[in-house]
Structure 1
Amino acid sequence: MQTHFTPADRQQPHIQEAERILRSCVHCGFCNATCPTYQLLGDERDGPRGRIYLMKELLESRDDANDITAETRLHLDRCLTCRNCETTCPSGVEYHKLLDIGRAEIERRVPRSAPERAQRLALRKMLVEPKRFAALLKLGQTFRPLVPGKLRSKMPTKPVDAGARPDPSRHARQVLMLEGCVQPGLSPNTNAATARLLDRLHIGVITVSEAGCCGAIDFHLNAQEAGRARMRANIDAWWPHVERGIEAIVQTASGCGAFVKEYGDMLKDDPDYAEKAQRIASLAKDIVEVLREEPLDELNIHATQRLAFHCPCTLQHAQKLGGAVEGVLTRLGFTLTPVQDAHLCCGSAGTYAITQPALATQLRDNKLDALEAGSPEQIVTANIGCQTHLASANRTPVRHWIEIVDEALAS
């Protein structure tokens, strides 16, 4: 794709990055075939190719250009950032990086309405602090009838209680685990189950209380510097353990894992954190990456359930781990039902289910139809956002896959 940036434009790092990505696109349109929003809306501007043209026009225009409107932002907002297009693209276009640049630019040029700004600020304040979120969740469950419908449907009535966690100090092998911001409130047993499972494999799980939200919520709501501040805080919290030789930093939410794995790229221009961020990114592992390398026969699993696995976009498209969980579950003896169009997004996409509820609901219902076609007893997934979004339909029960494995452990 040809670009028309001025010499002055090309002195700016974000324009240099955007031009590199734009020039890799051959505008073939293969990406539209696997784009969930293009499939629903049929509008070129709601597919990756159209959005790329919109961002190119935006970045090449002057600040005072009057043809850069809120409509451009609408089409960028509708993007799920599922990265399915990147899996499909034959030219390796790093679409999500261009989208980050485009969204930041449109945010700078076209102010949002007061209600939109208030909603985004509220989401950032409510979701990123685990204790605050847990308190608000408990309050919402107590006064459930008073909670707005689209939020009420996302609240579990009663999550599975977290069981005990083993003492990690009894094992020579140790990993860190990112607890996450909303998962401890919405599904407290997920990380506890992970700790018990790894304990059976002689791996101790250390929790660092100073490590908080990975930064993805701030970053993807266009508070990008706030997101980077959270990255730096997490690096500081983890670094003493990294220096002591921990094996990995484990995530049970694939959205967090995808984001932590990009710390090195997102802090590459920070002289104080660039090297540390690269090290952190290299240590980040989804729980399935740890388990698939271990002698799983030692777990003595009693697997009887028929499951449908929903592979989150952040696992299959961002982390390139499509099929990994299915492989582990099959090795453990679980029966997996086939899922048509498994590459498509469920509509959760971080805060997308709140900011774009109509599209998110359509995508959720389509995904549930595909998952339930094989009549599974339960649906399992690998990301708290997907889990909560799918469960909000009150159809087939939805759990994190690690909980199902933990329950199948022989005592």
Structure 2
Amino acid sequence: MQTHFTEEDLKQPHIREADRVLRTCVHCGFCNATCPTYLLLGDERDGPRGRIYLMKELLEDRDQSADITAETRLHLDRCLTCRNCETTCPSGVEYHKLLDIGRAEIERRVPREPADRALRFGLRKALVHPARFKALLRMGQVFRPLVPGTLRDKMPPAPVDAGTRPAGGRHARQMLILEGCVQPGLSPNTNAATARVLDRLGIGLTPAPEAGCCGAIDYHLNAQEAGRARMRTNIDAWWPHVEAGCEAIVQTASGCGAMVKEYGEVLADDPDYAEKAERISALAKDLVEILRDEDLERLTLREHKRLAFHCPCTLQHAQKLGGSVDALLARLGFPLTPVQDAHLCCGSAGTYSVTQPELATQLRDNKLDALEAGDPEVIVTANIGCQTHLAGAGRTPVRHWIEIVDEALSPATSNEPRAVSGS
């Protein structure tokens, strides 16, 4: 794609990066065929190719026209950032990088309406602090009938109890785990189940309570500097353990995993954190990357429920791990039902299901129809956002896949490490 930036324009780092990405696009339109919003709305501006043209026009617009900005914002807000287009693109266009630049430019030029700003600010403040989120969740569950429908559907009436969590310090192999911001409140059993399964394989999890939200919520709600600050905080919390030889940083939410794996890119221009961020990104591993290399024959399972696996966009399109969980579950003996159009987004997309509820609900219902076609007993996934969004429909039960593996394990033998209470 031809661009028309001046030499003065190209002195700005974000314009240079946008120019690089734009020039890789050959505007073939293959991306539209796999874009969820284009398939729903049929509008070229709600597909990747159209959005790329809109962002090009925005960034080349030196008069900063309000009309251009308003139209571009509407269609960029509708983008799920699912990155399906990147998987499809034959030219390797890094669409998500251009999208971050375009969204930041819009925020710089024209502030949002007060109600929209309040919603996004509220989401950032409510979701990124685990203790605050848990308190708000408990309050919402008490006053559930009064909660707006889009939020009420996100609240599980009673999350699965975390049960016991092994003390991981007894193992020679040690890994960190990102506890997450909303997952401890919505699904406290996910990381506890992870700890129990890894314990069976001789791997301990080292706590790093100073680490918090991965930064994705702030970053993708256009508070990018706040997101970077959270990344630096996490790096500081993890770094002593990295220097002590920690083997990996385990992620059980694929959205967080995708973000942590990009720390090195996001902080590449930070002289104090660039090298550390690159090391952290190299150590970040989705749980399936850990388990698939282990001797799984050591895990004796007493039952095998029939499952449908929903592969989150952040797992298959961002981390390029599509098919990995399916293969691992099949290796463990779980029967998997076929899922049509498994590449399409469920509509969760971080906070998208709150900021774009109508589109998100259509995408969720389409996804559930595909997941339920094989009559599974349970739908399993690998991201707390997708899990909560799909479960909100009140149809087939939706869990994290590691919980189902953990529940299927035969009772621990007497020579295995004793578990301790906690979540």
Q: Aligned letter for 1:361?
A: T
Secondary structure class of the residue paired with 2:311: coil
Greater Cα offset, 306-315 or 55-64 = 55-64
Offset, 1:66: 4.0
Deviations 1:264-285 (A, max 9, x none): 0000000000000000000000
Q: Distance in 2 between matches of 1:250 and 1:395?
A: 30
Contact 2:58 2:64 in 1 (8 A): no
Secondary structure class of the residue paired with 1:174: strand
Secondary structure class of the residue paired with 1:342: coil
Contact 1:303 1:332 in 2 (8 A): no
Gaps of 5+ in 2: 412-423
Aligned residue in 2 for 1:382: 382
Matches within 5 A, 1:161-310: 161-310=161-310
Deviations 1:273-316 (A, max 9, x none): 00000000000000000000000010112232100000000000
Aligned residue in 2 for 1:358: 358
Q: Which has the higher contact order (CA 8 A, sep 6+)?
A: 2
Deviations 1:94-130 (A, max 9, x none): 0000000000001111211000000000000000000
Deviations 1:206-233 (A, max 9, x none): 1211000000000000000000000000
Aligned residue in 2 for 1:18: 18
- Report sequence identity in percent: 80
Aligned residue in 2 for 1:391: 391
TM-score by length of 2: 0.96
Q: Distance in 2 between matches of 1:139 and 1:71?
A: 38
Q: Distance in 2 between matches of 1:253 and 1:288?
A: 11
Matches within 5 A, 1:305-316: 305-316=305-316
Matches within 5 A, 1:110-149: 110-149=110-149
Deviations 1:62-114 (A, max 9, x none): 15334423221010000000000000000000000000000000111121100
Contact 2:264 2:277 in 1 (8 A): yes
Contact 2:387 2:399 in 1 (8 A): yes
Secondary structure class of the residue paired with 1:335: coil
Q: Aligned letter for 2:203?
A: I
Contact 2:58 2:69 in 1 (8 A): no
Q: Distance in 2 between matches of 1:67 and 1:410?
A: 63
Offset, 1:367: 0.1
Aligned residue in 1 for 2:416: none
Quote the RMSD (CA, aligned, Å): 0.7
Q: Distance in 2 between matches of 1:66 and 1:406?
A: 54
Contact 1:254 1:382 in 2 (8 A): yes
Q: Distance in 1 between matches of 2:403 and 2:207?
A: 18
Tell me, yes or no, if structure 1 residue 31 matches structure 2 residue 44. no
Secondary structure class of the residue paired with 1:154: coil
Offset, 1:147: 0.9
Tell me, yes or no, if structure 1 residue 98 matches structure 2 residue 98. yes
Q: Distance in 2 between matches of 1:388 and 1:230?
A: 24
Deviations 1:223-279 (A, max 9, x none): 000000000000000000000001100000000000000000000000000000000
Aligned residue in 1 for 2:65: 65
Q: Distance in 1 between matches of 2:304 and 2:73?
A: 48
TM-score by length of 1: 0.99
* Residues 63/260 of structure 1: CA separation in 2 closer, same or farther (3 Å cut): farther
Q: Aligned letter for 1:55?
A: M
Aligned residue in 2 for 1:89: 89
Q: Distance in 1 between matches of 2:63 and 2:345?
A: 34
Tell me, yes or no, if structure 1 residue 340 matches structure 2 residue 340. yes
Contact 1:63 1:109 in 2 (8 A): no
Contact 1:346 1:360 in 2 (8 A): yes
Q: Distance in 2 between matches of 1:169 and 1:110?
A: 51
Gaps of 5+ in 1: none
